[in-house]
Structure 1
């Protein structure tokens, strides 16, 4: 079946309205609170100052300095970032579990689904990264090693391929949460099959939503920054941390509801037992 963007958006807003209280509870616990707590307790780690870039600096030096900055920042926060990511995985599966057909689980039941599905989601993500590395990363790395110009030529197709794979597997968390799939390979196959023939439509739909939401977030952050900056410290730091964490939570909720709506529409014409191999 062809993916209908308008129908998916209407269903997403309907699901959000019907489950708003439960979604707000789960997203607040697993998206907003961890990010907000990290920003408040470790502000210097949550928002590190990037290195200054002198006027006329060599681009190669700028790139090396930024790479070193990113590596240093990651070395200081990797354990916290992993913990927050794991919590968000639980929250994502739990939220999507609310959208199962014919059932309306409680928060406790949804959280149980999130905890059980977290490891499956992690395993599926690792397999997806491995596939992308083997199919895209290795050939691209060899091209750069053999002839940098060839690597540069292949860079754009590689980015397109990464986006394509991401779209093909975008329904993996929905499959885990809404079908109860506990086999990461089967979850990947199921998402691949469901998105067959609709990858471009799904990409355009998600890109349009992300673009509009991003523009709204930029405007909101500018407004929040102006308001909180006028209050002085510590209100400024707390206010900006709150605004940033709230934006993260709202983006997460919007993405999950949209993914749930896409899954509900596409799964209406396919059954899990029909899936055996990648197309």
Structure 2
């Protein structure tokens, strides 16, 4: 039986604009976003309020110690490169400190840009899959349109119906998922009978799925918080929006999984045996 899907060769250059480049950002995630005192953050912070750890050079003054001093959430967050896009393209390198009149608007634009860049991440991946040849033209058209939107002015971005655009993109992402997973599911059904299926938003909090065969599974929006996923097989599984907070991914296989992001991986626990897609990096806080 053929192996579950592998995406065609992925070059890191394909995702360069979709990776955070803090050197070319204005510390936007440290100011624009709110957070509440919890296991992930040591204190409360309102949206638009500057984090007290943010230096005048827009760099975190405690970056190396974030997890130890109660700011684990900062080490999980990923902006998909939206920070440098807003800073260097939307506002042409003019920061909110030197131009305070731009601050409020810039902080409102940032989360919109992040959503657009997240969609670009998914569309870039979908275009690299052999199984999506039949919808490549549509995928490329929507990706081009999404890139066009990222270049809009700040005023136009604030007027953008981002929910409607996400819905349009999602139609193609669902088609991508079906094209990939249906092949794997047919193979599994032939070889071993009915393959266990999970619906969107499945409640798998704390579930024992150690060694589970989840190839081709539908795990969109699944709650896998603190689940035991040691040595589970996620190849060709649709993982868009799945919540892996504190899940144990040690030894799990995510090669060829669909729509997995750095944000999701950062929130989980893993080790050197966890197999990740080439587009993602092993988090520094994972065990050896």
TM-score (norm 1): 0.30
The structure that has the greater radius of gyration is: 1
Greater RCO (CA < 8 Å, at least 6 residues apart): 1
Between Structure 1 and Structure 2, the one with more helix by share is: 1
